[in-house]
Amino acid sequence: MTKYAAPRGTKDILPAESSHWQMIETACRKVFELYNYKEIRTPIFESTELFTRSIGQTTDIVGKEMYEFKDRKGRSLCLRPEATAPVVRACIENNLLSADQTTKLFYIGPMFRYERPQAGRQRQFHQAGVEVFGSNEPRLDAEVIALNLQLLSEIGLKDLEVDINSVGCANCRPAYREKLRDYLKANIKDMCSDCQDRFEKNPLRVLDCKEAKCQKYIENAPASSSMLCVDCSNHFKQMVGWLDGLMVKYKINNRLVRGLDYYTKTTFEIVSNKLGAQNAVSGGGRYDGLVEELGGKPTPAVGFAVGLERIIGLLSNYELRITSESKTQLYIATIGDEATIVGFEMMQKARSHGISADMDYLGKSLKSQMKAADRAGAKFVYIIGDEEIKKQSAVLKNMQTSSQEEVAFDLLLEKAK
């Protein structure tokens, strides 16, 4: 018989791990709501053009990582590789943006990129992120970075580094691109084939290359910060001032161009030296041109996304013990058919009163039922047999202290609560 396995680059999140995921998702919601963000959920697939327009034709994501397919009517669709463009699309389509207020949105969900799987890199992975629309204030960029850090520290991550840069805007970037191309020209034939391709199509992408043989050239490349127009330069200085005010430690990293083309001005990443090659826990920045590019009114925006698998990776690195407290409060053990009927009703009643409860479905002996209750981490076991039904009362065993007491059927729920 054929054996099936999860597709390459995907992972099952098994019950033993799901408490980590729930803890992280709860922390995300808590911190996002502290900053007044509201949740948005967009479809898992979108029209392919949404991503080619926004992320950029020459990026790795659009060039070789999209899960693209045709539907039965021949329309080109694609599993979302990220959520910023879908959120922008949803905002325009549903009129969520207005000129006189900011719109703050967050999301949590799976993304899909056909990458070469390795530690911290999957083909289906999960992001939690925020997008805020309507203000070009550098204070907001700093706030978004502070929010990102607060989220990661709420989860318990330590030793993180914030890298920041400015990639300029449509006014100053063309001149920078030319300067970079001039600089690379002399050595491009010694660089990797990807870089040679990027040199032709989008030289800024060269700065993103991780190949060892390209590093020496990249290290000495001119910095985008040296070519910023007055507006972008002031924006960056002010943003840094706000970060200082918030006591956020950061490193200015002139190579930080990010793997998506929609960024303008601020870009940032939060990295950990405990993650190996895939060291970015999160990334984001400002994208003042994207709403207009996708058909909306010109609207400045800034946001970030954290990679949840990378957070999980770091949590196990730090060996943080996340208590996976059992939620089973009451286990009903029964002896005989009649007791099973009574016990089943009792269990359902407990559940309808908000008490989590469970029982045996395999006809096990009392001893095995007690073992199963223990394995389930049940706080109490109520033991019912024919005798107990006659007297409408049974023993309630506290599994933590091993103490027992006789509790009448009609007082059980009150006692268990």
Q: Which is nearer to ligand HAM, 122 or 334 (CB)?
A: 122
Q: Which is nearer to ligand HAM, 127 or 334 (CB)?
A: 127
Q: Which is nearer to ligand HAM, 188 or 302 (CB)?
A: 302
**In angstroms, what is the minimal distance from the CB of 115 to ligand HAM?**
5
Q: Which is nearer to ligand HAM, 176 or 287 (CB)?
A: 287
**In angstroms, what is the minimal distance from the CB of 125 to ligand HAM?**
3
**How many CB atoms are located within 10 Å of the residue 389 CB?**
18
- Measured in degrees and rounded to the nearest 5, phi and psi for residue 369 equal -65, -40
Q: Which is nearer to ligand HAM, 127 or 253 (CB)?
A: 127
**In angstroms, what is the minimal distance from the CB of 16 to ligand HAM?**
20
**In angstroms, what is the minimal distance from the CB of 128 to ligand HAM?**
9
Question: What is the DSSP code (8-state) at residue 156?
Answer: T
Distance of CA 327 to the CA centre of its chain: 25
Q: Give CA–CA dist 55/286, Å, rounded.
A: 13
Q: Give CA–CA dist 148/15, Å, rounded.
A: 27
**In angstroms, what is the minimal distance from the CB of 305 to ligand HAM?**
4
3-state helix vs strand vs coil in the chain, percent to 5: 40, 20, 35
**In angstroms, what is the minimal distance from the CB of 295 to ligand HAM?**
18
Q: Give CA–CA dist 394/388, Å, rounded.
A: 5
**In angstroms, what is the minimal distance from the CB of 280 to ligand HAM?**
4
Distance of CA 37 to the CA centre of its chain: 15
Dihedral of CA atoms 146, 151, 157, 162 in degrees, nearest 10, equals -30
Q: Which is nearer to ligand HAM, 110 or 336 (CB)?
A: 110
Coil, helix or strand for 355? coil
Rg (Cα) of the chain, in Å, rounded?
28
**CA-wise closest residue to 123 among 270, 309, 257, 305:** 309
Q: Which is nearer to ligand HAM, 133 or 331 (CB)?
A: 133
Q: Which is nearer to ligand HAM, 207 or 347 (CB)?
A: 207
> Is there a contact between 147 and 31 (Cβ–Cβ < 8 Å)?
yes
Q: Contact positions toward ligand HAM, by CB under 6 A?
A: 82-84, 113, 115, 120-122, 125, 127, 129, 131, 259-260, 280-285, 303-305, 307, 309-310
**In angstroms, what is the minimal distance from the CB of 84 to ligand HAM?**
4
* Burial degree of 314 (CB within 10 A; 0-12, 13-18, 19+): buried
